[in-house]
């Protein structure tokens, strides 16, 4: 029986053997609780037919749990100091490929084609570095990859924002952007005590199941997201004020913007956080005719 990497004793021994020191700039916090890792894999529904992309494998704690259940794991690691460690810790597993690259610069479509042609269903499963959580999630979704879903550990506050509902303080442009592409649910909270070094905040595991088609149909996706971002630009301002400020020549077009809001039955005195994704879709389609 191979010993789990993710125990305090084994993690400490591996780090000491290689003289590894954590880089704060890379947001490195390693999990030292095998049960938490096992539950992450459970939430991802990984089977022996699944292909898995992992981001930031660290010393391989989650990677090995994934390799035990998945058909194939491809892990992207940015820190070259970890490559020899991963080479040793993951040596018992033949179904893992480690790629030394920043995932934000990677051609993920190509990586999927090259590695997962014989897999049924591709999941992204990772303990994400806090400082790049949002850019990574948005890249995975905007690249329109053939993913079944994404199950990631991230800062609890970000998980709350992603899965938030309208009219809550957490709800914002990130909630809408992620929920446009996926069905989002926070499935578990994780205390800071199961990491080394301990982060300052608690974490959460969020599961994003990719929709067959976006949750709403819009005529211009880029413009839809621009309107959403504009509506939350200054949260205390009314929707009308934010839109007038954002839209080119907004002051001259104010009467037309008011007319459009009235036409789609959205009160301009409301704030962005009170609008549902469906209301934003109607509004952006109608405003596109005014602005363009």
Please check whether residues 55 and 129 belong to one and the same domain: yes
Kindly state whether residue 252 falls inside one of the protein's structural domains: yes
Tell me the average pLDDT across 267-280: 96
Q: What is the pLDDT, as a whole number, of residue 91?
A: 96
100-151: pLDDT as tens digits: 999 999 999 999 999 999 999 999 999 998 889 999 999 999 999 999 999 9
26 is in an annotated binding site: no
31 is in an annotated binding site: yes
Kindly state whether residue 41 falls inside one of the protein's structural domains: yes
Q: What is the pLDDT, as a whole number, of residue 266?
A: 96
Which of 184, 210, 236 represents a domain boundary (last residue)? 210
Please check whether residues 146 and 226 belong to one and the same domain: no
Kindly state whether residue 216 falls inside one of the protein's structural domains: no
Domain that holds residue 259: 221-291
Please check whether residues 168 and 227 belong to one and the same domain: no
If pLDDT is split at 50, 70 and 90, which confidence band does 264 have? Answer: very high
The chain-wide mean pLDDT, for the chain, equals 94
Number of folded domains that form the chain: 2
pTM confidence score: 0.93
Q: What is the pLDDT, as a whole number, of residue 250?
A: 77
Q: What is the pLDDT, as a whole number, of residue 129?
A: 85
**Range with the lowest mean pLDDT among 14-28, 79-93, 191-205, 274-288?**
14-28
Q: What is the pLDDT, as a whole number, of residue 1?
A: 59
Q: What is the pLDDT, as a whole number, of residue 248?
A: 82
Kindly state whether residue 215 falls inside one of the protein's structural domains: no
Kindly state whether residue 230 falls inside one of the protein's structural domains: yes
Which of 210, 236, 254 represents a domain boundary (last residue)? 210
Please check whether residues 28 and 86 belong to one and the same domain: yes
**Rounded Cα–Cα distance for residues 110 and 133 (Å):** 22
212 is in an annotated binding site: no
Question: Which CATH number belongs to the domain containing residue 190 in this structure?
Answer: 3.40.50.150
Which of 190, 210, 230 represents a domain boundary (last residue)? 210
Question: Which CATH number belongs to the domain containing residue 245 in this structure?
Answer: 1.10.8.100
Instruction: Identify the bridge partners of residue 127 per DSSP, sorted by sequence position.
Output: 153
127 is in an annotated binding site: yes
Please check whether residues 230 and 167 belong to one and the same domain: no
183 is in an annotated binding site: no
102 is in an annotated binding site: yes
Tell me the average pLDDT across 151-165: 96
191-237: pLDDT as tens digits: 999 998 888 889 999 999 999 999 999 999 999 999 999 999 998 89
Please check whether residues 135 and 228 belong to one and the same domain: no
Please check whether residues 135 and 36 belong to one and the same domain: yes
């Amino acid at each position: 029986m191979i010993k789990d990497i993710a125990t305090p004793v084994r993690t400490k021994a591996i780090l000491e053997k290689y003289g590894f020191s954590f880089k704060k700039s890379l947001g490195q916090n390693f999990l030292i609780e095998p049960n938490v890792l096992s539950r992450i894999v459970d939430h991802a529904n990984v089977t022996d037919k699944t292909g898995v992309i992992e981001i930031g494998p660290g010393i391989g704690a989650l990677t090995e749990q994934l390799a035990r259940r998945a058909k194939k794991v491809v892990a992207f690691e940015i820190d070259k100091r970890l490559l020899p460690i991963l080479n040793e810790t993951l040596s018992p597993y033949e179904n893992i490929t480690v790629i030394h690259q920043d995932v934000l610069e990677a051609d993920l479509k190509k990586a999927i084609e090259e590695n997962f042609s014989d897999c049924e269903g591709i999941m992204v499963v990772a303990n994400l570095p806090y400082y790049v959580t949002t850019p990574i999630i948005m890249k995975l979704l905007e690249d329109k990859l053939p993913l079944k879903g994404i199950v990631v550990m991230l800062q609890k506050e970000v998980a709350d924002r992603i899965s938030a509902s309208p009219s809550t303080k957490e709800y914002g442009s990130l909630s809408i952007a992620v929920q446009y592409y996926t069905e989002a649910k926070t499935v578990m909270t994780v205390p800071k005590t199961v990491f080394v070094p301990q982060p300052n905040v608690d974490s959460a595991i969020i599961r994003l199941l990719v929709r067959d088609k976006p949750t709403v149909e819009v005529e211009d996706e880029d413009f839809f997201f621009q309107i959403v971002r504009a509506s939350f630009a200054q949260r205390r301002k009314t929707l009308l004020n934010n839109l007038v400020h954002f839209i080119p020549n907004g002051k001259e077009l104010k009467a037309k913007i008011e007319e459009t809001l009235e036409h789609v039955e959205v009160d301009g005195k409301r704030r962005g956080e009170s609008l549902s994704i469906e209301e934003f879709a109607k509004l952006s389609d109608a405003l596109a005719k005014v602005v363009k």
